[in-house]
Structures are given as structure tokens and as C-alpha cells.
Amino acid sequence: MDTGTAVLTAADLEKTFYSTDPPTQVLSGIDLTVNRGDFVAVMGASGSGKSTLLYCLSGMDRPTGGGIWFGGRELTDLSDREMSRLRLLQMGFVFQQAYFLSNLSVRDNILLPALKAAPKERGAAEARTDELLERFEITHIGGHGITQVSGGQLQRASICRALVTRPSVVFADEPTGALNSSMTTEVMDALSGVHRDGGTIVMVTHDPSCAARADRVIYLRDGTVVDALDLGLWEPDRAAEREDRLLGWLRGQGF
């Protein structure tokens, strides 16, 4: 397969859960290419398979058919151990909840994946952590416990943690799902910044104002990609226009 500048490619992806009777086919026939520097948003009704797709693409779950190539490697060829290593080194994750360790400070939570990736390079890991805290304007809460900071700050810290190992792709599943609208803007500004700096992002969201930040939005229905909308590069001063265009398209999808 020609992967070109593709960092992530899925071909005829299928996922069926056999734990149910009858088995539940959740994804089928999904073809998707994510190029370096892309920001792709995944939308669709609740239960359409968005999270399952993200889990398969990021090696958290195994597809039951088709293939996924990540940086030229076929994920199904990897052992669990190789997959964990690839995920640690090459992928960053931002979830709806931060899943931070409550006995560590915000800064130490961010530092942790970098130390796991390269235990002997503590100095570099600390420098990278401090650079990210500064970049996302949360240096002042680095020493705080995770219950002492706002939801928006905690999600910006999650973005720092996702970036600390300089991953090829950041995967986000409803990163603003638990936030109010001002915190949502705060976190989406941070993700737009990651993208502007050249980062590659695949983000699941049900919020059109978040998806409007992406270059491309794909729509899932019953586990199949039924349409895609190209929005081009994010321009903050055209946010309303982009959102209108996206909303019109979503209405056409029955969203």
C-alpha cells in the first residue's frame, strides 16, 4: 500500500463484538487516511461507533477485519507488548476525563509518560514538561494536586501529557465532553494550537463548534463512514461561517 505522507491508514476496517449474542457488528468497510499535519474530526449519532473507531485506530482495541497502518507498520502484526510501546512513543491521548493519578502533582502526571518512554533521560523529560506547561499557560498549577485545578486547566494538562513524548498522532475522544462552554473554547484553542504547530489530530466529538476547528470532518452512520466535509485550515475569524457550513452539512446527515 502506498502510504505517501499518510501517518495513519485504515482499509476495509471491521469490528464485531462476539461477547454479545448475537454478535454486534459495530464498524464495517471503513477506509480512512490521515496525513501528517491533518486535523480530522469524527462525528455521528451516539452509538454510531465513533469511540470504537478511535480505539481501533489507536491500538487500544483490535479490529476483527481489515488493516490499519501506523507510520508504515501494520498494527495487527504487532504483539501486545510492541503495541504498548508504539502507543507510548507515537500516540498521545486526550479523553473526556483526564485519568490523572491523584497522588501526583499536575506536573508529575505530565512528566510520567516521558519518563516511561526514556527512563534515563529525566532532564530532557523535565525540560519538555516545563516547555509544555508554559506553552499551554499552566506553569502556575504545575505543583498543584489534580483536585485543585479547573476542568479546563486539567484538560490543557491532558494535552501536555499527550504531547510530552512528541507523538505522531494525538487521539482525542470527546475532549470537551465534560466542560462548560468557556472551558470548551479554552481547550479547543489549545488543540488548534497543537494543529497550527504541525500536530496531527484525530478527534471524536458531538459538538459542531469543536468539529469546526478540524480540516476535515467525517460522518459515521451505523459504523460506516457515509460522508466527509473538507473545511480547510482553521481560521479563527471565520469561525461562525465554518460552523454554519458544518451545521448545514450535519443537518443533511440527519444529525
Ligand X SMILES: Nc1ncnc2c1ncn2[C@@H]1O[C@H](COP(=O)(O)OP(=O)(O)O)[C@@H](O)[C@H]1O
C-beta of 67 vs 177, nearer to Mg ion: 177
Sign of CA dihedral 208, 209, 214, 216: positive
Provide the binding-site residues for ligand X, judged by CB under 6 A. 17, 19-20, 24, 26, 44, 46-52
**Which of these segments, 44-52, 145-153, 182-190, 212-220, binds Mg ion (CB under 5 A)?**
44-52
Q: Which does 181 bind (CB under 5 to 8 A by kind): ligand X, Mg ion, none?
A: none
Rounded least distance, CB 239 to ligand X, Å? 25
Rounded least distance, CB 148 to Mg ion, Å? 29
C-beta of 108 vs 207, nearer to Mg ion: 207
Regarding 51 and contact with Mg ion (CB under 5 A), the answer is yes
C-beta of 70 vs 95, nearer to ligand X: 95
Give the sheet arrangement for strand 224-230, strand by strand. 91-94, 169-173, 201-204, 39-44, 216-221, 224-230
Look at phi and psi of residue 236 and say left if phi exceeds 0, alpha if psi is from -120 to 50, else beta: alpha
Regarding 58 and contact with Mg ion (CB under 5 A), the answer is no
Regarding 52 and contact with Mg ion (CB under 5 A), the answer is no
C-beta of 46 vs 79, nearer to ligand X: 46
Rounded least distance, CB 92 to Mg ion, Å? 18
* Three cell numbers written together for 163: 504531547
Q: Which does 20 bind (CB under 5 to 8 A by kind): Mg ion, ligand X, none?
A: ligand X
Contacts 24+ apart (CB under 8 A), 44-49: 44/219, 44/220, 44/221, 44/255, 45/221, 45/255, 46/206, 48/220, 48/221, 48/222, 48/223, 49/15, 49/220, 49/222, 49/223
C-beta of 131 vs 222, nearer to ligand X: 222
Question: Closest Cα partner for 76 from 87, 86, 84, 67?
Answer: 67
Strand pairing report for 6-17 and 24-35:
antiparallel
Rounded least distance, CB 172 to ligand X, Å? 13
Rounded least distance, CB 68 to ligand X, Å? 16
* Three cell numbers written together for 224: 460506516
- Work out the number of other CB atoms within 10 angstroms of the CB of residue 200: 21
Rounded least distance, CB 50 to Mg ion, Å? 5
Start-to-end C-alpha separation, the chain: 34
Q: Which does 49 bind (CB under 5 to 8 A by kind): Mg ion, ligand X, none?
A: ligand X
Farthest-apart Cα atoms in the chain, separation: 53
Rounded least distance, CB 220 to ligand X, Å? 7
C-beta of 20 vs 103, nearer to ligand X: 20
C-beta of 50 vs 195, nearer to Mg ion: 50
- Site residues for Mg ion per CB under 5 A: 50-51
